[in-house]
Amino acid sequence: MSGHGERPDGDRLLDETLADIVRRTGASAGAVYLWDEAAGVLGLVVICGVPLEVAWPWRRVPLSAPVPVCDAVREDRLVWVGSQEEMVRAYPRAAASLPYRIALAAAPLPGGCRGALLLMWPADRPLGADHPVGATPRQQGNISSAARRVARVLADSAVPPAVPEQPRLVAVGSAPRAPNGPSPQAAADYVERLPEGALGLDLQGRITFVSDSAATLLGSDAARLLGTRPWLSLPWLDDSVVEEQYRAAVISRDPVAFTAVRPPDTWLEFQLYPDASGISVRISRAPATDPGRPESGSVPRPVGVPTPGGMPTRSAGSAPAGSRETGRLYQLVHLAAALTETVAVRDVVELIADQVLPAFGADGLVLSAAEAGRLKITGYHGYDRETIDRLDGLPLDTRVTPAGKALDDGIPSFFASPGEMARRYPRAPQISGKQAWAFLPLVVSGRPVGCCILSYDRPRSFSADERAVLTSLAGLIAQALDRARLYDATRDLAHGLQQALLPHSLPALPGLETAARYLPASRGMDIGGDFYDLIRIDAGTVAAVIGDVQGHNVPAAALMGQVRTAIHATAGAPPDQVLARTNRVLADLETDLLVSCLYAHIDLVRREAVLASAGHPPPLLHRPDRPPSVVRLDPGPLLGVDPGVSYPLTPLSLPPGTTLAFYTDGLVEAPGSDPEHAAEALARELARYGGQELEPLLDILLRHARPSAHYTDDIALLLLRTGAAPEAGRGPGPERP
């Protein structure tokens, strides 16, 4: 159990509930995640069944991360992954850092508890099933029932649930043993009579039992081994293969085996048998005629060579020069996979702050980019704003910090204490107050990109292993940062173009209320070709337009501006003619992009509208005292398909108090949903809140369509509501841009 002091009753009950769920479902491990509102991430609260080091890369994950628990919470659904192959296809990042035969389920917590229950099983026996293809409806019901049980515990807690700084680790426990079994002394005597050695490990890898014969084979004293991890207390077992085999056993619950040489030349075979309470290890001398034994301890034995016990084995080499921490390597694999998914510079900064800093125990981060001979800070964590202002914009040849020199010569710099830093850079410790630093130059193909600085609040030495891993990580960060800066530059250009082309405000007309909203996608380029417009024709006539240009890039935003201009130039003509002329303009532009568009000519005096659609979703309609509906249109082809097509007209009456909602497909299209059903549900919401002002109504419709605020596509939404008819006078004619 991590942490100190007495746990609150709610925490204790949650821990006991999770352990009981793991036992009842036959899972090998379980965890509970909760939403951390302040940090904006899902935080790991409690875990059981696996070492905390295994879950460390997943301690805090952004809701947008492509991992099962995030999908479960974001999409409010049970996520089931039945095999390692399915994990690779659906969640490659998770598969890279958990390369084991497991099945898992992530279930959202109901009842207002934003979080998830995560359960894992050995892949060949999830939930007691004979195959890992999928969970049956009954099994899915059991998992959902377990999630409801966790939610009830959280809801009944006297203290509101919170995400702790360090996740709690609880023991799964085991079922009571049958009565009249052998006494502990009889069991110990039985073990001691066996020629093989017997070793017991808990799920954290610590030795809980060691027989005399095992201690003899290991060449150590039993009392010195108890409570330690074998790869730490026995230098000749300090090999990544050893820890990896332990991790494979504890996570997959599969028996595994390996051989290792005890200096100078004694080969031992280790067979690991895991269950929910720990791992039993059988130690014996490797057969002298073992065909897989290498001639030298430095050559690893191939994976898959059968042993007398029938398990595939792998050999550990002789003691390496220095500790090779498998957990650190898994963190590197996990971080490498995560960095490939970052898009913008802010994503890179958030990933480093959320995952790199905890992985290496760092307290502060400064990420600088090389721009025009200066170090421009693009992100930071763990520093106050005043310090960042003093460090921002320093020249590359600065003597204030080692950042410029590290970037100039491409060699990382590590400083274990302020004294070590002050000998070469006297001003640096005074500026930040930090006690240790790692300056990692970010270089891509020999070109300096920037510098990543990790800092610590206490003095810290950097082992050779840490330096090697951090140096490798710097190369991955450099590539991610370079891609992100290019993306940001392109996005800013397109976004600026798009915002310049969208209307800054809607014209005010008597007898018509209006409101509009444009939302970029929450992931991706953040720009696109969605557009809307309201064009005043005269005092009693207006044209409402909404459309969507194919693509999310600069050409899409540019074409959107050209389409808007073409529509403005012909506004006031019948809707079918407006679309037909705009269609011919697109043909003259010879663009490969297609455009959907809905044009409505609205007569506020006669209270009627005429609509024409070029492949665009139909608007939502709510008239007073009548059921809401989706307007039935006969749409023509998309603009840009055929310059000679015609567009059917649809008349529509608009009595006072009528609300029309024009939207782009991002509002109703989502993976696994039917756009028509989504539009009908939105129409019902439109009627339900028909008495609201239009601005609040915009928010209501958007929240209903996208409750998680996760937009996979741009959304444009234009609301119109008719009031009292204006006087019948006509103005001078249509406005022009």
For 153-199, the pLDDT digits (tens) are 998 887 777 888 788 988 876 544 444 555 667 777 777 777 789 99
In contact, 622 and 682? CB cutoff 8 Å: no
Q: Tokens representing 501?
A: 């082309």
* Beta carbons of 402 and 428 less than 8 angstroms apart: yes
For residue 305, name the pLDDT band (cuts at 50, 70, 90). Answer: very low
The answer to whether residues 92 and 227 belong to one domain is no
Q: Tokens for 311? A: 């398990």
DSSP 105: E
What is the spatial distance between Cα 541 and Cα 340, in angstroms, rounded to a whole number? 52
pLDDT for position 332: 67
Pairing of strands 256-262, 312-316: parallel
| C-alpha distances in Å from residue 175, one per residue of 171, 275, 500, 520 | 12, 12, 67, 53
User: Is residue 399 domain-shared with residue 349, that is, in the same domain?
Assistant: yes
Would you say residue 180 lies in a domain?
no
Q: Which amino acid is at 414?
A: F
Using pLDDT thresholds of 50, 70 and 90, give the confidence band for residue 131: very low
* Same-domain check for residues 370 and 442: yes
| Mean pLDDT for the chain overall | 81
Residue 724: is its pLDDT beyond 60? yes
CB 322 within 8 A of CB 464: yes
Give the residue from 438, 468, 494 where a domain finishes.
Answer: 494
Percentage of residues of the chain with pLDDT beyond 70: 84
Q: Any idea which of 256-270, 313-327, 423-437, 564-578 has the lowest mean pLDDT?
A: 313-327
CA distance 377 to 385: 12
Q: Mean pLDDT highest for which of 30-44, 238-252, 512-526?
A: 30-44
pLDDT for 712 equals 59
So what's the pLDDT on residue 543? 96
Contact 446, 460 (CB under 8 A): no
Average pLDDT, integer, range 374-403: 89
Task: Please report whether residue 186 resides in a domain.
Answer: no
Q: Which residue has the higher pLDDT, 730 or 255?
A: 255
Q: What CATH code is carried by the domain that includes residue 473?
A: 3.30.450.40
- Res 433: pLDDT: 86
Any idea which residue has 């898994």 for tokens?
A: 330
The structure tokens 């809707």 sit at 575
- 358 and 402 share a domain? yes
- Phi/psi-derived region of residue 72, left when phi > 0, alpha when psi is between -120 and 50, beta in every other case: alpha
549 within 8 A of 561, measured Cβ to Cβ: no
Residue pair 553/582 in contact (Cβ under 8 Å)? The answer is: no
Residue 90 region by backbone torsions, left for phi larger than 0, else alpha for psi between -120 and 50, else beta: alpha
Residues 612 and 705 in one domain: yes
* Per-residue confidence (pLDDT) for residue 680, from 0 to 100: 92
Q: Is residue 319 part of a domain?
A: no
In this structure, what CATH number is given to the domain that contains residue 534? 3.60.40.10
Looking at the fold, whether 127 and 242 belong to one and the same domain comes out as: no
Which of 456, 476, 494 is a domain's end point? 494
Q: Is the pLDDT score of 648 beyond 90?
A: yes
Asked if residue 1 is part of any domain, the answer here is no
Q: Which residue has the higher pLDDT, 348 or 329?
A: 348
Nearest to 174 by CA among 251, 256, 274: 274
Q: Which residues contact 79 (CB under 8 A, 6 or more apart)?
A: 68, 69, 71, 72, 105, 106, 107
Which pLDDT score, from 0 to 100, does residue 503 have? 82
Residue bearing tokens 């790869």: 231
**Rounded Cα gap, residues 133 and 183, in angstroms:** 42
Residues 684-713: b if buried by 16+ CB within 10 A, e if exposed: ebbbebbeeebeebbeebbebbbeeeebeb
Reported as a single tens digit per residue, the pLDDT across 508-563 is 888 899 999 988 765 544 566 788 999 999 989 999 999 998 876 777 777 888 89
Mean pLDDT on 732-737: 38
Using alpha carbons, select from 13, 333, 62 the residue that is nearest to residue 168.
13
- Quote the Cα angle for 344-349-355, to 5°: 120
Q: What is the pLDDT of residue 72?
A: 92
Query: Does 329 reside within a domain?
Result: yes
Does 347 fall in a domain?
Answer: yes
Q: Are residues 138 and 203 in the same domain?
A: no
Question: Tens of pLDDT along 408-452?
Answer: 888 899 999 999 998 988 888 888 889 999 999 998 888 888 899
**pLDDT confidence of 694, banded at 50, 70, 90?**
very high
Q: Read off the pLDDT of each residue in 312-335 and give the average, rounded to a whole number.
A: 50
Give me the pLDDT at residue 320, please.
35
pLDDT at residue 302 in the model: 31
**Geometric angle at alpha carbon 448, from 445 and 450, rounded to 5°:** 130
- Cα-Cα-Cα-Cα torsion 686, 538, 545, 615, nearest 10 degrees, comes to 100
The domain that holds 239 is classified in CATH as 3.30.450.20
Model confidence at 51: pLDDT above 50:
yes
Whether 148 and 281 share a structural domain:
no
Task: Place 579 in a pLDDT band, splitting at 50, 70 and 90.
Answer: very high
Q: Is residue 311 part of a domain?
A: no
Whether 141 and 223 share a structural domain: no
**Same domain flag for 350 and 400:** yes
Together in a domain, 99 and 228: no
Last residue of a domain, one of 115, 136, 170: 170
The answer to the question of residue 294 being in a domain is no
Q: Within 13 Å, how many C-alpha atoms sit on residue 318's CB side?
A: 11
d(C-alpha 608, C-alpha 83), whole Å: 58
Looking at residue 613, its amino acid is S
Tell me which residue range forms the domain holding 269.
194-287+325-341
Q: Which of the residue ranges 316-325, 351-360, 472-481, 496-505 would you say has the lowest mean pLDDT? A: 316-325
**Edge-to-edge strand list for the sheet holding 256-262:** 207-210, 197-201, 278-285, 266-275, 256-262, 312-316, 305-306
User: What pLDDT, in 10s, does the model give residues 472-512?
Assistant: 888 889 988 888 888 888 777 767 776 777 788 888 888 89
| Higher per-residue pLDDT: 239 or 328 | 239
The secondary element (H helix, E strand) that includes residue 448 is strand 447-456
* Number of domain units in the chain: 4
Q: Compute φ and ψ for 525, nearest 5 degrees.
A: -75, -15
* Residues 639/594, Cβ–Cβ less than 8 Å: yes
Tokens of residue 248, six digits: 């494979």
Residues 564, 713 within the same domain = yes
Max mean pLDDT among 370-374, 397-401, 607-611 falls in 607-611
pLDDT, tens digit, 9 for 90 and up, residues 52-70? 777 777 788 888 788 899 9
Look at residues 27, 31, 104, 21 and name the one whose alpha carbon lies nearest to residue 68.
104
